[in-house]
Structure 1
Amino acid sequence: MNKNLFCDIQTKNILYKDVIEEVGYQLEKDNIIKSHNDYFQEVLNREKCGDIEIFPEVILPHIQSENILKTKICLIKSEHGLIQWHKQSVKLIILLNLKPNEDKENLLEIQSFMRNLADEDYIESLIK
């Protein structure tokens, strides 16, 4: 796996809005996105499109946007164990940030990662 494609984020926040804000600020600082304000809205808008839970206490919000400069998969966990995502408690947020016109090599890496998410043991290893 391409380690540059992933980032691990340990947050002290437990409310989803605070978590997404924190992630947005960090991604903007790291030149992965252009605007944390736009990013925050994009993540919230994407969530309205359908269910993002892929496993008990694991969600996979994903966005593709001109705001994203570099494709990144963020694995987000709280130092407190759980993040309150609306009315749901989650242990892991897998936040896929996909830039438009991503190169084929990275798309294949993402595809491989997504296939691995069908394996419960693999997801459990990400939660730990």
Structure 2
Amino acid sequence: MSKTNKTTKTDDEWRKELGDELTFQVTRKAATERAFSHPGFPEGDGRFLCTCCGAELFQKTEKYDSGCGWPSFTAPSTDAPVGEKEDLSHGMRRTEVICTNCDAHLGHVFPDGPGPTGQRYCINGVCLRFEPKAS
């Protein structure tokens, strides 16, 4: 697990900090952005950070195009604060993915990804901030 302290804020503080209602609704209220609505991320190596707390979540090397309409990854970064919990909303049984540093909803994980993990971390683009690798 990450060595970062737990980040806790009120809804008003999150709204002000995030500045975008969609990002607030997705990360703090477990909404979902529309499929294929995120503009994507820059090319090149780098890492993906939590929009809310800045913790490293995924490496660009784990990202792939699953065709589902959301950024997909085969696994979180080593020691990433990525947790999972059961989600029974919308009449489905799924596994929700959260940032354990700040409790941000990130998306869901499914067992239909490529090898070697077989996992597809389907993550809302507004939950991620891409940081290119320093040259």
Please indicate the TM-score interval, normalised by the length of the shorter structure: under 0.3
Whichever structure has more helix as a proportion of its residues is 1
TM-score, normalised relative to structure 2: 0.27
